[in-house]
Amino acid sequence: MSTNAKVKVVPCSGVGKVFGLMSREAVLHTVKHLCPEQADTICLAYIVTGDDEVETSIENQPCITIDGCPKMCSAKSVAMMGGDVRGEFKVLDIMKEHKGAQPGTATLLTDQGWSIVEEIAGKLNSRVQEISGGGRKE
Amino acid sequence: MMEEEKLKIGVVSCSGEDCAGGTISRLATRKMMDELRPDNTVTICLPLFLAGGQEERMFAKECPTIAVDGCDKACAKRATEKYSGKVSSGILVSDLIGSAAAEKPALSTRDITTEHQVMVDQVAAEITRQFDEIMAKNCQEQSKSSSTCSCRGNCDC
């Protein structure tokens, strides 16, 4: 599989809240440790610039987005640049399953935060596997 | 009596996932908010310039802004200027810590070493230097038009 054919997993990486950091860490864990052969990531900041090069790299490519807040910056931006969004994850939805959890801050995660990040990464990995094995165009 | 409004300076980080410089830029920006200038630093998630509305796009028009970029693509500076307004200054992390260090693979905050923390401190120090320059300049301009200092003791006026 060529690098371009990898599923792009794009976090919002929001800098203001812990959920942005969780999205970022979940994606890094996914693409570095869980499925590096099938997935990689791309800077959302770069996507936002709208450069031709970045548009070419995600246009019609299978993408998964994960957002920390309801503004859905990653999902919206990837879709605007022509990415084929095959999965949209929201950290807030996953946090509903962990009521009362203290995941940390936008700077540092707690052990509980890391545990939830690994759970999110597991979900991202599952979606990557589904997409990779789902007969998408190579 | 209503408290006089403090001058806020925006720090916009690339937070890029392509290289270690993105992690350093993010952590240095957080250090400004958490420790160094917590009362005067504001930030905005960079993607909100594209995904958000008019309110977000007014950010760099309403407050002086420093863009902090992890690599020479300078996405934070370029995207801020494309969607919001001209930045007051820009910092390229790779200029401060060297391209070799900045271009290494993206770092998880779990893998931050003492060496990386030194880099974060170095970048944060440069943001602080530029931050204080902007604050002083704004303060001087404010002082010309009124008798009070808008930064409330954060300058040498």
pLDDT per position as a tens digit, B97-136: 999 999 999 999 999 999 999 999 999 999 999 999 999 9
The residues in A 91-130 lying below 8 A from B, measured between CB atoms, are 105-109, 114
> Which residues of chain B lie closer than 8 angstroms to A107, CB-CB?
27, 30-31, 34, 109
Stretch among A101-105, B49-53, B111-115 having the lowest mean pLDDT: B49-53
Contacts of B67 in chain A (CB under 8 A): none
User: Which residues from B are below 8 Å from A43, CB to CB?
Assistant: 14-18, 22, 73, 75
Interface test with A, best of B11, B35, B46 (most A CBs within 10 A): B46
Mean pLDDT across chain B, nearest whole number? Answer: 89
pLDDT tens, position by position, A2-61: 445 899 999 999 999 999 999 999 999 999 999 999 999 999 999 999 999 999 999 999
Confidence of residue B140 (pLDDT cuts 50, 70, 90): confident
Q: What's the pLDDT score for residue B52?
A: 86
Element (H, E) at B54: helix B54-57
A:9-48 residues touching chain B, CB 8 A cutoff: 11-16, 20-21, 24-25, 27-29, 32, 41-48
Nearest CA in chain A to B107: A28
CB B102 within 8 A of CB B24: yes
**Furthest-apart CA atoms within chain A: distance in Å:** 44
Q: Which residues of B are less than 8 Å from A114 in CB distance?
A: 110
C-alpha span between A116 and A21 (Å, rounded): 12
**B112 three-class SS:** coil
